[in-house]
Amino acid sequence: MSLTTRRDGTIAYVEINNPPVNAIGLSVREKLQEAIDWVNGQTGLTRVILTGAGRAFAAGGDAREFDAAPVAPHLPDLANQIEACDTPWVAAITGLALGGGCELALACRFRIAAPGVQIGLPEVTLGVVPGAGGTQRLPRLIGMAKALDMIATGKPVKAEAAEAMGLIDGIADDPVQIAQNLDIGSLELAASVGEMASPALDNAALDAARALAAKKSANQIAPQRAIDLVEATATLSLADGMAREREVFIELRSSEQSNALRHMFFAERAAKTPKWLTAEPAPLDHIAVIGGGTMGAAIAYALLNAGLTLTLLETDADGVARAEQNLGKIIDASLKRGLITARGAEDRRTRFTASDDYAAAAGATLAIEAAFESMDVKKSIFGQLIKHLPANAVLATNTSYLDINEIAAIVPDPSRVIGLHFFAPAHIMKLLEIVRGDATSDVALATGFALAKRLRKIPVLAGVCDGFIGNRILARYREAADTVLMDGSTPWEVDEAMVAFGYAMGPYEAQDLSGLDIAHANRRRQDASRDPNRRYIPIADRMIEL
């Protein structure tokens, strides 16, 4: 059953049960309509408690339905019926309350959440706007500025922040128990969100939200349309505002941008959990990172952010000092920017040690080599790893281009070897290429995917080939940029054009950030096999040689 109802004395219970995240698809909407009709036919009820089974309250609509025509009952109509019900509904929220789940909660008279619950309206990340009253009810409840922070960015808030802004009425370990014991007088006298006054027009917040959307979501339609809808709450009735919201939602759900963003959403979700990979990963109790340069330090910081413990290995005492300095700079920068607290910074410093002795990492269950892009250097490192780490430890290389099969050939058990290719800056970029060698075991692969999940990165499985996937794409991208440069454009003109197109940064700004050395070494490796009839642009080589 996708939804169940029951009555216990004067309390009715409605539970959404549509694993894994209680998406509000057609079957749930049909059952919810039946539940509303059932509640309206009951007598003597004091409240209806709306819950979600499992790890979610309700995580929005079913995006797979977007390609078809909308089918009744529609979620905004259901939300309106819940809000208009003579018997007050109380949302007892555990897990996720996103999209339509948040909108159902907004239609309830009271909202009680468990600690750590996430509540939000992420629709703009799928190229649409909230479609069941979210843009109209949320500003009435918490004000225009706070509503814009959530709706225009699509970012959820935790229960604690939600309570502080008035989005929920309380936090409890057992929200259902609190909902059962709410004072009947408070329930009957509480105003529904739809009855609340329209929010005051906040032009400063609107201007700031539009500027942020233009910067962070360049050329995307949905964030700006969502901001327009929030602005409309100052002048439109709830009914008129919801009618306009529905028009925009229906328009955007069939747009090219929404189609593309939904495709990306499902592709990324599928990439994170390959169904065929059933092996148990190695534990991530202790990780060794070899190389404390720019990339190695950033990888180390990503591991620390995930709560992991690590040993940072270098070749000598000077290298250890540089590694500690590089990692310390990232921690200090995060503290200065307010990304972590002073306590968080100190916690990160206590969970890593740096050493030039591989024996310091003797208990590591995973090693990530992030040294200079040289086959000889990497083979030397793997030679040390097999001497000092446990025989079942997974050994990973962060190589951008080199053949991991050649690296694995020096390891007695090559099934332990895997590629984990991070992109710079490794503690920020979401992509992680997991490279499968000829002998790589499913355990090693499962460990790579488990690490990606722990780091909240998007894993992409690749085979052994020059540049894997990302760098093969980037090679053609950079080649095109260099060709335009040779034909008379400037680097900043190229960068400006790509940013205007929607890229976060242009190719030359990206190269300034990541460095030129690895790509240069790869070009030298390719000199002998390069097609002499293909135009070669030497600009990046000359920059290295200066």
pLDDT at 546 over 70: no
pLDDT digits (tens, 9 = 90+) for 353-400: 999 999 999 999 999 999 988 999 999 999 999 999 999 999 999 999
- φ and ψ at 197, to 5 degrees? -65, 155
Q: For residue 189, count other CB atoms closer than 10 A to its CB.
A: 10
Strand 118-120, strand 157-158: pairing: antiparallel
CA dihedral over 451, 453, 454, 458, signed as positive or negative: positive
Phi-psi region of 515 (alpha: psi -120 to 50; beta: other; left: phi over 0): left
- Residue pLDDT, tens place only, 276-308: 999 999 999 999 999 999 999 999 999 999 999
- Asked if 368 and 340 touch (Cβ cutoff 8 Å), the reply is no
Q: In whole angstroms, what is the distance from residue 413 CA to residue 7 CA?
A: 61
507-544 burial code (b ≥16 CB/10 A, e <16)? bbbbbeebeeebbbbbbeeeeeeeeeeeeebeebeeee
Residue ranges of domains in the chain, CATH in brackets: 3-262 (3.90.226.10), 287-463 (3.40.50.720), 474-545 (1.10.1040.10)
From 103, 314, 369, 509, active-site residue: 103
Report the length, in residues, of the chain.
Answer: 546
Q: Which of 123, 245, 373, 433 is catalytic?
A: 123
**Is there a catalytic annotation at residue 280?**
no
Is 103 an active-site residue? yes
Query: How does pLDDT run across 262-274, given as a tens digit for each residue?
Result: 999 888 888 887 8
Q: What is the pLDDT of residue 512?
A: 80
Q: What is the mean pLDDT of residues 248-253?
A: 96
What span, in angstroms and rounded, lies between the C-alpha atoms of 464 and 397?
A: 12
Give the helix/strand (H/E) hosting 97: strand 96-98
Helix or strand holding residue 518 (H, E): helix 517-526
pLDDT cut 90: percent of the chain above it: 79
Among the ranges given (152-166, 180-194, 375-389), the one the predictor scored with the smallest mean pLDDT:
180-194
| Helices and strands per DSSP (H, E), number in the chain | 23, 18
Residue carrying the six token digits 């780490």: 389
Residue 1 has pLDDT above 80, yes or no: no
- Phi first, then psi: what are they for 16, rounded to 5°? -80, 130
Q: Distance between CA 365 and CA 325 in Å, rounded?
A: 25
